[in-house]
């Protein structure tokens, strides 16, 4: 395995989610941004929570039913209401109908999340 870093700070083409607000799992398509065998993506995540303690959840698309809380799930919590929290997150990718993607979900739809692809783990 090799970590590939795009060095994407400030490059909007690598913003895979801008001000997302879904309170149910929604896919983020990554096809075309990764090689077909990349299994983990590295993202710079910005969460602006509606309330302190609201959470951004990431998981592989098509995570097995009943295992979403343990299979490849990544979480980030907002510390202060209406104050952006920024952190790096890693999450496994999944596929649906041949499309590489991850799913995201917020505690409530008044939270906002932005994700910028920073890199991926390549299977050499």
Over 70: is that where the pLDDT of 21 sits? yes
Over 90: is that where the pLDDT of 10 sits? no
Over 60: is that where the pLDDT of 42 sits? yes
3-state secondary structure (DSSP) of residue 49: coil
* Sign of the C-alpha dihedral computed for residues 5, 60, 74 and 77 taken in this order: positive
pLDDT at 123: 76
pLDDT at 47: 98
Query: Cα–Cα distance between 101 and 85 in angstroms, integer?
Result: 23
Over 80: is that where the pLDDT of 77 sits? yes
Q: Which residue has the higher pLDDT, 66 or 119?
A: 119
Burial bucket for residue 66 (CB in 10 Å: 0-12, 13-18, 19+): exposed
Specify whether the backbone of 85 is left (phi greater than 0), alpha (psi in -120 to 50) or beta.
beta
Residue 69's pLDDT band (cuts 50, 70, 90): low
Question: pTM of the entire structure?
Answer: 0.89
Query: Cα–Cα distance between 90 and 28 in angstroms, integer?
Result: 14
pLDDT at 43: 95
Q: Which of 122, 121, 118, 90 is nearest to 11 (CA)?
A: 118
């Amino acid at each position: 395995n090799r970590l590939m870093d795009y060095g994407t700070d400030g490059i909007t083409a690598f913003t895979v989610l801008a001000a997302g607000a879904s309170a149910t799992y929604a896919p983020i398509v990554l096809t075309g941004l990764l090689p077909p065998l990349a299994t983990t993506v590295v993202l710079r995540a910005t969460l602006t929570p509606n309330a302190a303690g609201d959470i951004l959840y990431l998981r592989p698309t098509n995570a097995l039913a009943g295992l979403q809380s343990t299979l490849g799930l990544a979480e980030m919590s907002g510390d202060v209401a209406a104050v952006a929290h920024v952190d790096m997150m890693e999450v496994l990718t999944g596929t649906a109908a041949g499309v590489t993607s991850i799913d995201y979900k917020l505690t409530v739809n008044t939270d906002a999340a932005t994700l910028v692809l920073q890199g991926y783990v390549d299977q050499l």
